[in-house]
Structure formats: C-alpha cells, structure tokens
Amino acid sequence: MADIFNAEVVTLKVGEGAAYGAALQALWCWRLEKGEQACIADITDEFVTLNTTQTATPKKDAVAAYRELQALQDDLSRSLRGVFAKHREFALR
C-alpha cells in the first residue's frame, strides 16, 4: 500500500481496525447526543495508538513501477470505452 499510494502506512495496536473505528464513531455520536462538544479528533487522540513497529514507507523504485502500471491501465481503459459502449448496447437488446 505504501508503494501504491506513495505514502507512509501505519497500523494500529488494535487488530480489528474497522470495528474499532466504528466503536469510536459510536462513542462520538453518543457524546454529541448527550450534548457534549465532542470532537472526533479528541476521541481518536485518546483511544488510538499506532503500532510503529509495522510502519511501511514507500520504496522509490516500486512507486515508479506502480505509476507506470497505472498509466498503462488508464490508457487501456480509455481505449476500450467504445468497445464497452457497444457491448452494453448489445447486452441491452
């Protein structure tokens, strides 16, 4: 992911990131419902801890390769738009 998006990727100390994020969002909504001036950033600052041992940084050569592959994919997709339109017309008959 770091190479594909050319960005540092970090993980959380909590293994269930999506469920944990949902729980934190629920806490935020609950606090808002109670009338608190809750800020999601304050909640994440309090409860989210990064696992710095699993941080990944992009590798320059891999980033370049993924960018080249994406450019090829973009060209291929553009070149097939007419074919896709014809296929859609055929399928809708």
For residue 59, the 8-state DSSP code is: -
User: Residue ranges of the domains in the chain?
Assistant: 1-58, 59-93
Q: Name every residue whose Cβ is closer than 8 Å to that of residue 50 and which is 6 or more positions away in sequence.
A: 10, 11, 12, 13
**32-68 as b/e: b if 16+ CB within 10 A:** eeeeeebeeeeeeeeeeeeeeeeeeebeeeebeeeee
pTM higher than 0.75, yes or no?
no
Each residue of 15-61: pLDDT tens digit? 888 999 999 999 999 999 999 998 999 999 999 999 989 999 999 99
**Distance, first Cα to last Cα, the chain:** 41
Backbone angles phi, psi at 52, to 5 degrees: -70, -15
